[in-house]
């Protein structure tokens, strides 16, 4: 038996000497296989963790998109809900109807008084038309900003787990603050800011040399080019000046920028506001002082006025050739209308202004214009910023913890 063991030992040693390289390679291969296995398991674990992170981020992104969609829907509904009040307030501030009524009842022999009333009607018509456009654009900026700020708070609240009684009381106070914040902002715009907007536009209209030269009693025809030139000049004069735009880009303050912000928010804190309302107002101030405000203002007003001027042109002079229209085979193409006298242009401005502030109906421009403004990138960047700022902070904190 001992000899058998000795023989087996010698045979094994001989095999090892003959196949030394093979044994080394096999040992190394086994070690590599073990290392590769553990590396593979570690890779699977990392992949699973990464997949879970992606799923959490995707779910969070989906929640964020739903919150943004809900915010936009609620904002559009709020914009249209208050349009009748906006229209009533504009009619109070710029009472064109009483001037028109006096013209109808005035004795024709009172020529000087009649001419003076026509000049008043001219200024009131253009001022109210442009004020309505500017107010409509600013109204969108205010409502979307306020609803987004509230929406962000609601979005954050939805992440919280079960609340204590003290936290529930705080939430009730926050909900009351949301209502107070939204209501006070809308009331301020309608009761005070609209008067400031009217004064701003009115000064521009009165200073326009072209309009001053147009006397209603003598202007027998206003051509399309003349009207377009006038409207463009008024529009550019109403907008913030290049100096204010440059200051906004550099995030520097200026008196003109301050004036435009006052169209949307109280210039100073109001007495009796609680800490929750002040916190919401601070968020609104941050948005208005950001470099996103001026592009949103310029693009939204540019879109509104550009479309409104074209719609007015189509009404006064007939559809433009570039506008796609369905025409029957035997129907003649629409002909351009003759240039109207200035006196006939005033009722057209009244009608177009009313269409803008109609909350619904086939003649309303509100839905069409609101959708167009809401789809503008600069406008969306403005009101969505409050959400994505918070989202970016959450992502950063998450990556730090990981």
Distance CA 121, CA 95 (A): 9
pLDDT tens digits along 293-332 = 999 999 999 999 999 999 999 999 998 765 444 444 455 5
pLDDT tens digits along 348-397 = 999 999 999 987 777 788 888 988 898 899 999 998 888 876 444 444 33
Q: Which of 240-244, 276-280, 385-389 comes out lowest in average pLDDT?
A: 385-389
Distance CA 246, CA 108 (A): 53
Task: Give the per-residue pLDDT at 363.
Answer: 77
Task: Check pLDDT > 90 for residue 337.
Answer: no
Q: Which two tokens stand for residue 155?
A: 């979005």
Mean pLDDT, residues 284-301: 93
Check residue 109 and report its DSSP letter: T
Which of 35-44, 104-113, 212-221: highest mean pLDDT?
Answer: 212-221
Distance CA 234, CA 203 (A): 10
Task: Give the per-residue pLDDT at 222.
Answer: 95
Distance CA 83, CA 364 (A): 11
Close Cβ partners of 171 (under 8 Å, ≥ 6 residues apart): 157, 163
- Scanning 263-328, the segments in alpha helix (DSSP H) are 275-289, 293-317
Cβ atoms 377, 147 nearer than 8 A: no
278 against 195, higher pLDDT = 195
Task: Give the per-residue pLDDT at 306.
Answer: 94
**Prediction pTM value:** 0.79
Cα Rg for the chain, rounded, in angstroms? 35
Scored b (16 or more CB within 10 A) or e, 148-170 reads bbbbbbebeeeeeeeeeeeeeee
Give the residue among 32, 212, 253 at the shortest CA–CA distance from 123: 212
pLDDT tens digits along 121-176 = 999 999 999 999 999 999 999 999 999 999 888 877 766 655 555 666 677 777 88
Task: Give the per-residue pLDDT at 165.
Answer: 56
Q: What is the mean pLDDT of the chain?
A: 81
Cβ atoms 325, 319 nearer than 8 A: yes
Distance CA 195, CA 192 (A): 6
> For 5-10, which contacts have Cβ atoms below 8 Å and span 24 or more sequence positions?
none
The alpha carbon of 357 is separated from its chain's Cα centroid by a whole number of angstroms, namely 18
- Hey, is 225 helix, strand or coil? helix
- Hey, is 149 helix, strand or coil? helix
**CA 198 to each of CA 9, 135, 206, 280: distance values in angstroms, whole numbers, following the listed order:** 109, 9, 12, 27
Cβ atoms 238, 206 nearer than 8 A: no
Q: Which two tokens stand for residue 108?
A: 């024709």
Mean pLDDT, residues 240-257: 87
Task: Check pLDDT > 50 for residue 73.
Answer: yes
Q: Which two tokens stand for residue 22?
A: 């093979």
Task: Give the per-residue pLDDT at 326.
Answer: 46
The torsion angle over the Cα atoms of residues 302, 305, 311 and 313, rounded to 10 degrees, is: -110
Cβ atoms 75, 148 nearer than 8 A: yes
For the chain, the residue count is 402
Task: Check pLDDT > 50 for residue 40.
Answer: no
Give the residue among 142, 55, 48 at the shortest CA–CA distance from 379: 142
Task: Check pLDDT > 50 for residue 401.
Answer: no
Burial of 284 per CB tally in 10 Å (0-12, 13-18, 19+):
buried
Cβ atoms 317, 336 nearer than 8 A: yes
């Amino acid at each position: 038996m001992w000899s058998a063991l000795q023989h087996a030992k010698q045979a094994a040693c001989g095999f090892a000497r003959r196949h030394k390289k093979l044994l080394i390679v096999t040992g190394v291969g086994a070690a590599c296989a073990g290392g590769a296995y553990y590396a593979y398991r570690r890779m699977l674990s990392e992949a699973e963790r990464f997949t879970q992170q992606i799923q959490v981020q995707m779910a969070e992104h989906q929640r964020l998109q739903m919150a943004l969609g809900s915010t936009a829907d609620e904002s559009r509904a709020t914009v249209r809900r208050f349009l009748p009040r906006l229209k009533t307030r504009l009619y109070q501030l710029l009472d064109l109807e009483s001037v028109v009524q006096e013209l109808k009842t005035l004795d024709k022999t009172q020529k000087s008084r009649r001419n003076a009333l026509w000049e008043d009607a001219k200024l009131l018509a253009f001022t109210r038309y442009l004020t309505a456009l500017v107010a409509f654009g600013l109204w969108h900026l205010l409502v979307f900003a306020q609803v987004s700020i509230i929406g962000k708070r609601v979005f954050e609240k939805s992440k919280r787990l079960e609340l204590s009684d003290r936290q529930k009381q705080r939430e009730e106070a926050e909900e009351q603050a949301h209502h107070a914040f939204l209501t006070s902002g809308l009331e301020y715009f309608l009761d005070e800011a609209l008067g400031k907007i009217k004064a701003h536009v009115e000064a521009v209209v009165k200073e326009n040399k072209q309009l001053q030269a147009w006397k209603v009693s003598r202007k027998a025809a206003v051509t399309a080019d003349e009207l377009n030139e006038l409207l463009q000049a008024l529009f550019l004069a109403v907008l913030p000046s290049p100096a204010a735009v440059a200051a906004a880009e550099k995030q520097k303050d200026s008196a003109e920028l301050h004036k435009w912000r006052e169209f949307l928010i109280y210039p100073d804190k109001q007495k009796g506001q609680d800490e929750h309302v002040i916190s919401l107002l601070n968020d609104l101030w941050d948005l208005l002082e950001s470099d996103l405000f001026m592009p949103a203002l310029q693009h939204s007003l540019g879109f509104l006025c550009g479309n409104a001027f074209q719609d007015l042109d189509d009404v006064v002079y007939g559809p433009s050739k570039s506008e796609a229209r369905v025409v029957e085979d035997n129907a003649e193409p629409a002909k351009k209308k003759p240039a109207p006298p200035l006196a006939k242009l005033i009722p057209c401005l009244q009608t177009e202004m009313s269409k803008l502030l109609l909350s619904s109906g086939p003649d309303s421009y509100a839905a069409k214009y609101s959708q167009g403004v809401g789809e503008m990138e600069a406008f969306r960047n403005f009101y969505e910023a409050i959400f994505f700022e918070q989202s970016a902070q959450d992502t950063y904190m998450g990556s730090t913890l990981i």
